[in-house]
Amino acid sequence: MSANDSRGPEGRQNTATYDSPFMKACRREAVPHTPVWFMRQAGRSLPEYRKVREGTAMLESCMRPDLVTEITLQPVRRHNVDAAIYFSDIVVPLKAIGIDLDIKPGVGPVVENPIRSRADLAQLRDLTPDDVHYVTEAMGMLTAELGSTPLIGFAGAPFTLASYLVEGGPSRNHEHTKALMYGDPQLWADLLDRLAEITAAFLKVQIEAGASAVQLFDSWVGALAPADYRRSVMPASAKVFDAVASYGVPRIHFGVGTGELLGLMGEAGADVVGADWRVPLDEAARRVGPGKAIQGNLDPAVLFSTREAVEQKTDEVLAAASGLEGHIFNLGHGVLPTTDPEALTRLVEYVHTRTAV
Ligand code: CP3
């Protein structure tokens, strides 16, 4: 069977990566070592990233397959991580359907005309594969280069995308978002449903192009109480997971500060649930319930401490994960921009060595 032969209900699984430690851990099978990758591994902590990005705006880089390919591969070459994450941003599909937005350095996504009324919903048209042809192209180049190393595709979850669209940019308290969610539940539900359709279409493009797994980032959903999550967010996130279920690729779900939501986030349909550093992984697994792998959860700030402290905190994560079926080692959130890249390389090596069977 050649590497491009397919299996799975829709014939899209990337067989070259099927038996990799990352894919096995997602399926809760035995692994030769605990697989490791880092959220935001591709990006500002690497000097080679800053060099290739010089003079090119963030969104423009995301639309250049040559740059995307190079930046996605950089951390794989340097750190020996067990998976690559596709270099892009959660707002790329929104930009692709014509939303007027930009990613401002040091700030994040900024939306010119925030969505706050029913008339504003018209801004959100369907996404077609043609809108993101550069993703298909870059993923084709990447899967050829990566061989047996899985490529993780991703998207922002409906709530987190809505928070940028409604606020008009990054927000600490999400006041406009919550005002809409509580004040006009029908408009809110319609907005999230629209975003679920766009997100599902975007994930399908990535799976069809060869992504071995997908992660749905609901980074800011930890701002909600469980009852509000269940009522106002879960139906849209579940719709995204359902839409890609038949491909059979692992679906990962992650948000920051979601200790109280872990059970519901698993219920939304993920195969793997990520936890930040505030909940020990054995407790996270208990909350998520049986039948799902767990991803996490070293505090990214620990990497600024001594080598001994990093090893000790890593041992704590590994000890909490030791009884679990399916653990993917990651940070509890993204790599901080001023992290020493060598600390990341050492961490991968350390986890691989400590968990080798
Ligand atoms: O390595 C990887 O993880 C892949 C690349 C990636 C980026 N953004 C690149 C990026 C991924 C997976 C994302 C997802 C993303 N974007 C999320 C979810 C993950 C998370 O961290 O919770 C969110 C909330 C965003 C929105 C966003 N885009 C933020 C908060 C920022 C940072 C703002 C800043 O500059 O401090 C961005 C910009 C961004 N996305 C950068 C990168 C490398 C920095 C831009 C640059 O290098 O010029």
40 belongs to the catalytic site: yes
Is 43 among the annotated ligand-binding positions? yes
Q: State which ligand 1 atom lies nearest to the alpha carbon of 103.
A: 38
Structure tokens at 327: 């653990």
Task: Please report the pLDDT score of residue 312 as a whole number.
Answer: 98
Ligand 1 contact, 298 CB (< 6 A): no
Q: How far apart, in whole angstroms, are the C-alpha atoms of residue 213 and residue 91?
A: 19
| Distance (Å) from CA 40 to ligand 1 centroid | 7
Task: Please report the pLDDT score of residue 160 as a whole number.
Answer: 98
Is 194 among the annotated ligand-binding positions? no
Structurally, the chain folds into a number of domains equal to 1
Q: How far apart, in whole angstroms, are the C-alpha atoms of residue 275 and residue 298?
A: 9
> Which of 56, 67, 90 to mutate for ligand 1's pocket (most ligand atoms within 8 Å of CB)?
90
Q: Among the options 12, 53, 116, 194, which is catalytic? A: 53
Ligand 1 contact, 67 CB (< 6 A): no
Q: Does a structural domain hold residue 5?
A: no
Q: Does a structural domain hold residue 3?
A: no
Q: How far apart, in whole angstroms, are the C-alpha atoms of residue 339 and residue 315?
A: 20
Q: How far apart, in whole angstroms, are the C-alpha atoms of residue 176 and residue 58?
A: 26
Ligand 1 contact, 58 CB (< 6 A): yes
Q: How far apart, in whole angstroms, are the C-alpha atoms of residue 320 and residue 280?
A: 6
Which residues are bridge partners to 293 per DSSP?
A: 272
Each residue's pLDDT, cut to its tens digit, for the chain (357 residues) gives 333 434 444 455 788 999 999 999 999 999 999 999 999 999 999 999 999 999 999 999 999 999 999 999 999 999 999 999 999 999 999 999 999 999 999 999 999 999 999 999 999 999 999 999 999 999 999 999 999 999 999 999 999 999 999 999 999 999 999 999 999 999 999 999 999 999 999 999 999 999 999 999 999 999 999 999 999 999 999 999 999 999 999 999 999 999 999 999 999 999 999 999 999 999 999 999 999 999 999 999 999 999 999 999 999 999 999 999 999 999 999 999 999 999 999 999 999 999 999
The end-to-end CA distance of the chain, in Å, is: 28
Q: Packing angle between helix 185-208 and helix 158-167, nearest 10 degrees?
A: 120
Ligand 1 contact, 84 CB (< 6 A): no
Q: Does a structural domain hold residue 349?
A: yes
Residue 116 CB: number of other CB atoms within 10 A? Answer: 18
Task: Please report the pLDDT score of residue 14 as a whole number.
Answer: 80
Q: Does a structural domain hold residue 106?
A: yes
89 belongs to the catalytic site: yes
| SS3 per residue for 194-233 | HHHHHHHHHHHHHHHCCCCEEEEECCCHHHCCHHHHHHHC
44 belongs to the catalytic site: yes
Q: How far apart, in whole angstroms, are the C-alpha atoms of residue 191 and residue 185?
A: 10
Q: How far apart, in whole angstroms, are the C-alpha atoms of residue 142 and residue 140?
A: 5
The DSSP bridge pattern shows strands 101-104 and 108-111 to be antiparallel
> What are the CB-based long-range contacts (under 8 Å, 24+) for 45-51?
45/335, 45/336, 45/337, 45/338, 45/339, 45/340, 45/341, 45/344, 46/74, 46/75, 46/78, 46/341, 47/341, 48/74, 48/78, 49/74
- Reported residue count of the chain is 357
Is 86 among the annotated ligand-binding positions? no
Is 282 among the annotated ligand-binding positions? no
Ligand 1 contact, 47 CB (< 6 A): no
Q: Does a structural domain hold residue 8?
A: no
Task: Please report the pLDDT score of residue 77 as a whole number.
Answer: 97
Task: Please report the pLDDT score of residue 4 as a whole number.
Answer: 40
Task: Please report the pLDDT score of residue 12 as a whole number.
Answer: 57
Q: Which CATH number goes with the domain that contains 141?
A: 3.20.20.210
- For ligand 1, atom 43, which residue shows the shortest CA distance? 43
Q: Which spans in the chain are helix H?
A: 21-26, 47-53, 58-62, 65-79, 92-96, 133-146, 158-167, 175-183, 185-208, 226-232, 234-244, 262-267, 281-288, 307-321, 341-355
Is 164 among the annotated ligand-binding positions? yes
Q: State which ligand 1 atom lies nearest to the alpha carbon of 337.
A: 36
Ligand 1 contact, 154 CB (< 6 A): yes
Is 27 among the annotated ligand-binding positions? no
- For ligand 1, atom 8, which residue shows the shortest CA distance? 89
Ligand 1 contact, 217 CB (< 6 A): yes
Structure tokens at 114: 């925030």
Task: Please report the pLDDT score of residue 72 as a whole number.
Answer: 98
- For ligand 1, atom 40, which residue shows the shortest CA distance? 89
Q: Name 28's Cβ contacts closer than 8 Å, sequence gap at least 6.
A: 291, 292, 293, 325, 326
- For ligand 1, atom 32, which residue shows the shortest CA distance? 108
Q: State which ligand 1 atom lies nearest to the alpha carbon of 108.
A: 33
Burial of 195 (0-12, 13-18, 19+ CB in 10 A): buried
- For ligand 1, atom 42, which residue shows the shortest CA distance? 43
**Domain encompassing residue 315:** 15-355
Q: Does a structural domain hold residue 4?
A: no
| Distance (Å) from CA 341 to ligand 1 centroid | 17
The answer to whether 282 and 47 are in contact (CB under 8 A) is no
Q: Does a structural domain hold residue 7?
A: no
Query: Is 0.75 surpassed by the pTM of this model?
Result: yes
Q: Does a structural domain hold residue 300?
A: yes
